[in-house]
Amino acid sequence: MDIWKFQFDLKQNPLIPIRPASVKELLKQKKMAVVQKENTEFADRGRGTMADCVDPAALRQISDKFFMDGIEQGLKHRADNLMSLALCTRGDNLRRLTLSEIGLVSFEGEGVNGASLFRCVWRKSKRNQYGNVEQTTFMRHKD
């Protein structure tokens, strides 16, 4: 929400608009042109690579193998495997890959622990409806 616009509409802010509508429209068109140019010049380096053709059944087999013993270290390996694959997976394969496949297992001494922030920004990632690059943040459990 634009707080200035909200106040101006309620006649609580007497200042005139900082930018006329024509300038706003021009900036919007320029931004859309830059987004369109970036999209047309985008070279998909992952096309045809191993990350492009992930078999969900093979992924599940590998993931289950890590977690077969039911120990905490296996859970960490499984999460690391799924996370590393998620960072290089694209398109439909990314939508099929979910960390919820880890499952629920109770461990001794389980409880709330601290976590450090692991932030990944993909420069050529999916854009939202406004043309902005979406950013993703992960929480990594402290060892």
Report mean pLDDT in 10-residue bins for the chain, 143 residues: 75 74 89 88 69 68 74 74 66 51 57 57 64 61 50
pLDDT of 102: 46
Residues 62 and 34 in one domain: no
* Core vs surface per residue 73-86: b (16+ CB within 10 A) or e: ebbeebbebbeebb
pLDDT score for 30: 93
Residues 61 and 107 in one domain: yes
Do 51 and 78 lie in one domain? The reply is yes
**Whether residue 53 is found in the same domain as residue 106:** yes
Question: Quick one: 109 and 70 in the same domain?
Answer: yes
133: which DSSP letter?
B
Q: How many structural domains are present in the chain?
A: 2
Cα 93 from Cα 7, distance rounded (Å): 46
Count the neighbouring beta carbons within 10 Å of the beta carbon of residue 89.
20
Q: Are residues 75 and 115 in the same domain?
A: yes
What is the model's pTM? 0.29
Beta bridge partners of 116: 140
118-136: per-residue pLDDT in tens? 555 555 566 777 777 666 5
Q: Which residues contact 90 (CB under 8 A, 6 or more apart)?
A: 44, 46, 51, 52
Does residue 14 sit in the same domain as residue 50? no
Instruction: Write out the residue range of the structural domain in which residue 98 sits.
Output: 43-141
Q: Do both 79 and 25 map to the same domain?
A: no
Q: For 47, how many CA atoms within 13 A lie in the half-sphere containing its CB?
A: 4
